[in-house]
Chain A
Amino acid sequence: GENVEQHPSTLSVQEGDSAVIKCTYSDSASNYFPWYKQELGKGPQLIIDIRSNVGEKKDQRIAVTLNKTAKHFSLHITETQPEDSAVYFCAASTRGGSYIPTFGRGTSLIVHP
């Protein structure tokens, strides 16, 4: 089955800095890579996703890149703000197949004002 590794487990940055979270996956059949943000006391919420036919996707201050050859994908947050502080999960799944995602272990992002 799919295995998703996520690093770092904790990331501490100053407000305004950039943050990068990296994930690798094992199943070359995976074609859908979502990122979820979980704020304290809440369930995870999708913030951005990317499909295997795209190398990069941006949405305002967040971007995701995908390298299918190397089987890794990354989340980039620019101009971080205190409200970006949360736990971020990457995931990989195969849409059209067994599409239930496999999640990484999460990254706790702390943005210091």
Chain B
Amino acid sequence: SAVISQKPSRDICQRGTSLTIQCQVDSQVTMMFWYRQQPGQSLTLIATANQGSEATYESGFVIDKFPISRPNLTFSTLTVSNMSPEDSSIYLCSVDRGGDTGELFFGEGSRLTVL
């Protein structure tokens, strides 16, 4: 298994500000992902955080809005920039430990409310 710590667990933010979410994993992993889960919605992949290189963003998500850092194999950050109420969501960090299992491990999420 993998233990993933995310912080903050929740925050209330003002429109136009930015917030950085941190994700710490208890062991080195190759693949780290950031997901968005809007109220009552599914898990939407924002980007794959690549260690030592720029993140790979999914369609509809751009680096200027969601800059991601991955300085090492156990840590990543996601910043939500210039927030609007539409960014109110749960943001989840996830890792794939590799091997043949295919299992994703998720953090408990960061619930952001933008006023």
Contacts and interface: CB of A to CB of B under 8 A. Distances in A.
Nearest to B101: A49
A74 interface: no
Contacts, number: 45
A44 B102 CA distance: 14
B80 interface: no
Interface in B19-49: 33, 40-43, 45, 48
Given A43-B92, A100-B33, A105 B42 contact: yes
A95 B96 CA distance: 12
Interface string A89-113: 1000101000111011110000000
B48 A99 contact: no
Contacts of B42: 89, 103-106
Q: Is the interface of A mostly helix, strand, loop or mixed?
A: loop
A32 B45 CA distance: 18
Contact of A89 (B43, B94, B102, B109): B43
Interface of B: 4, 33, 40-43, 45, 48, 92, 94, 96, 100, 102-104, 106-109
